[in-house]
Amino acid sequence: MILSRRSIILSGITVAAAGALPGFAYAAAGTPKRLVFVIQRGAADGLATVAPTGDPAFAAARRALADETAGGAKLDGMFTLHPSLTQTAGLYTSKQAHFAHAVATAYRDRSHFDGQNMLEGGGSRPYGRDTGWVGRLLTLLPAAERDAIAIAPAVPLALRGSVQVGTYAPSRLPQADADLIARLTAMYADDPLLHPLWDSAVKTQELASDIGGNNGRNGADLGKLAASLMLPADGARVMMVETGGWDTHSGQRGRLAAQLRGLDQLIGALQAGLGPAWNDTLVIVATEFGRTVEVNGTGGTDHGTASTAMLLGGGLAMGGKVSADWPGLGASARYEGRDLKPTRSLESVIAGAVAHHYALDPKRVMATLYPDA
């Protein structure tokens, strides 16, 4: 897919002469670093993504979902990677993937809205910041590495700040995502008019914009698109990619497998699309919070606290490792008796990875990205 700069919408305005705008002027000097932040909206289950199969309490707590990661790559004595993540497993083997476990932002309640606001804004309380950590990071980067873009219809909070950033979204009416459709199905269940109308509408709907849909190919398309926007000499250097559908309250096994397959293909396509530039790329995959240790009554998991973050790329400090100050899954080890206890701040994981990637002073990065920490 070839995208001209013309098709990129900069804060809602079509850029006809992007080269003339500050921040878009490309300086040839230095090795251009690239950063991709993939947000998993909806609270992705870290305990199924990177499963602590070596924890003695794991199988009993996860009951029917305990074998969700059967057949997945063994990461070390404790952790098994979800079997959908095959390309990611390959990256782990070649020391280009790192998983930080039992991490969480400073947020301790369980609202998606508030949790995402803190993950993106980087404040110490919900709605405490009106700029985002990526937006603030841009002020630390050389002009040539500041071009930032989000694959989204509007600039997400994470990218907001003093540096102007762009957005790109396919122009057609986007189809409603699978998760929204499922929620509306529940909402209309008792409605005599809407229930049959919706049923028939859903049957004819193709779930094309969901990353898990189309056997993961939607994720691959998104990764290809992201790479095509970042690869050109005057392309974006910093990108945010939105993914949704992680809120697996029911039927987690199949849904999460599809979601992770989409994510895996997204990562694979990004790596393939960037080619040698992958070596200078850092991909951060993070979610607002995790999910309960115990499985609920509908084959899913409910809102929890700590989860897993992924770091991917060619120049990681600790590639091929899972880092965790593992708290254990026994009832007394859990946060509020139900969730994986956070033992490390997600903020410090992100700031540390970014500082290493750009060779910046870690203290300065932390103070800029998370000024309230």
- 66, 73, 143, 176: which one binds other proteins (CB under 8 A): 176
Please identify, using beta-carbon distances, which residue of 59 and 197 lies nearer to other proteins: 197
> Least distance to other proteins from the beta carbon of 127, Å?
9
Calculate the CA 303 to chain-centre distance: 17
Please identify, using beta-carbon distances, which residue of 278 and 289 lies nearer to other proteins: 289
Per the CB < 8 A criterion, the answer to whether 260 and 44 are in contact is no
Q: What are phi and psi of 240, to 5 degrees?
A: -120, 130
Q: Which two tokens stand for residue 298?
A: 């509908």
Q: Examine residue 3 and tell whether it contacts other proteins (CB under 8 A).
A: no
Helix H or strand E encompassing 186: helix 178-187
- 1, 28, 29, 173: which one binds other proteins (CB under 8 A): 173
> Least distance to other proteins from the beta carbon of 211, Å?
13
| Token pair 């949704």: residue | 244
Q: Which two tokens stand for residue 278?
A: 């992958």
Q: Examine residue 157 and tell whether it contacts other proteins (CB under 8 A).
A: yes
Please identify, using beta-carbon distances, which residue of 8 and 141 lies nearer to other proteins: 8
Q: Which two tokens stand for residue 56?
A: 């003695």
Please identify, using beta-carbon distances, which residue of 219 and 319 lies nearer to other proteins: 219
Site string for other proteins, 109-128 (x = CB under 8 A): --xxx--xx-----------
Q: Examine residue 152 and tell whether it contacts other proteins (CB under 8 A).
A: yes
What is d(CA 73, CA 93) in angstroms, rounded to the nearest whole number?
Answer: 10
Please identify, using beta-carbon distances, which residue of 113 and 336 lies nearer to other proteins: 113
* Cα angle 357-31-238, degrees, rounded to a multiple of 5: 55
> Least distance to other proteins from the beta carbon of 305, Å?
17
> Least distance to other proteins from the beta carbon of 205, Å?
6
Please identify, using beta-carbon distances, which residue of 198 and 370 lies nearer to other proteins: 198
What is d(CA 45, CA 288) in angstroms, rounded to the nearest whole number?
Answer: 10
Residue 365 pairs in a beta bridge with none
Per the CB < 8 A criterion, the answer to whether 102 and 324 are in contact is yes
Please identify, using beta-carbon distances, which residue of 79 and 168 lies nearer to other proteins: 168
> Least distance to other proteins from the beta carbon of 192, Å?
6
Helix H or strand E encompassing 227: helix 217-230
Q: Which two tokens stand for residue 49?
A: 């993504």
231-250 binders of other proteins (CB under 8 A): 244-247
183-212 binders of other proteins (CB under 8 A): 183-184, 186-188, 190-194, 196-202, 204-205
Per the CB < 8 A criterion, the answer to whether 351 and 362 are in contact is yes
Q: What are phi and psi of 293, to 5 degrees?
A: -65, -45
* Cα angle 187-193-198, degrees, rounded to a multiple of 5: 55
What is d(CA 156, CA 297) in angstroms, rounded to the nearest whole number?
Answer: 34
Site string for other proteins, 266-285 (x = CB under 8 A): --------------------
Q: Which residues bind other proteins (CB under 8 A)?
A: 12, 41-43, 111-113, 116-117, 152-154, 156-157, 169, 173-177, 179-181, 183-184, 186-188, 190-194, 196-202, 204-205, 244-247
